C-alpha cells in the first residue's frame, strides 16, 4: 500500500505553489533541483512508474528534472531514489521529514 503524503507537503504547496528550488543534499555535498508535483501528478506519476511494484512502501512527490525522485516512506521520512533501477534498496535517506527537508531548500540563482 502506498504511504500517504504528509500534511506538511500539502500545506507547503498550498502556501508556496508548485515550482522548482535547489535542495542541498548533505550526503552528496551538492545541490539538486527539486520540482514539486501537484497531488494529481503524484497519483499519475506513481501509477505510471509502478512505484508500488518496484519500490513498495514509498511514494514519489517530486523529481530533480532528471533521473532522481524525491520519495516519502510510511513515517514521512524523505529519500532520493533513482528512476532507472528503482527499488526500495536504492532509497537514500536525506531528511527525517518534509519539515526537515525544507531547511535544505535554496532559491535558484539565475
Q: In the chain, what are the domain boundaries? A: 7-106
Confidence category of residue 109, pLDDT binned at 50, 70, 90 = low
Mean pLDDT of 96-107: 91
pTM of the model: 0.92
Q: What is the mean pLDDT of residues 54-58?
A: 97
b (16+ CB within 10 A) / e for 25-39: beeeeebbebbbbee
Q: Is the pLDDT of residue 108 over 80?
A: no
Query: How many whole angstroms separate alpha carbon 16 and alpha carbon 99?
Result: 14
For the chain, the average pLDDT equals 93
Mean pLDDT in residue range 74-103? 95
User: Which letter does DSSP use for residue 104 in this model?
Assistant: T
Span 7-106 CATH architecture: 3-Layer(aba) Sandwich (3.40)
Q: What is the pLDDT of residue 9?
A: 97
Q: Which helix (H) or strand (E) holds 12?
A: helix 7-16
Confidence of residue 84 (pLDDT cuts 50, 70, 90): very high
pLDDT at 69 over 80: yes
Amino acid at each position: 500500500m502506498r504511504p500517504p503524503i504528509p500534511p506538511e507537503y500539502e500545506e507547503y504547496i498550498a502556501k508556496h505553489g508548485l515550482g522548482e528550488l535547489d535542495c542541498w543534499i548533505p550526503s552528496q555535498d551538492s545541490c539538486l533541483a527539486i520540482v514539486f508535483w501537484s497531488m494529481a501528478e503524484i497519483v499519475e506519476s506513481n501509477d505510471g512508474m509502478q512505484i508500488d511494484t518496484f519500490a513498495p512502501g514509498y511514494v514519489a512527490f517530486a523529481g530533480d528534472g532528471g533521473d532522481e525522485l524525491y520519495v516519502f516512506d510510511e513515517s514521512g521520512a524523505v529519500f532520493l531514489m533513482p528512476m532507472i533501477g528503482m527499488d526500495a534498496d536504492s532509497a537514500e535517506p536525506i531528511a527525517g521529514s518534509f519539515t526537515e527537508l525544507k531547511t535544505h531548500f535554496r532559491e535558484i540563482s539565475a
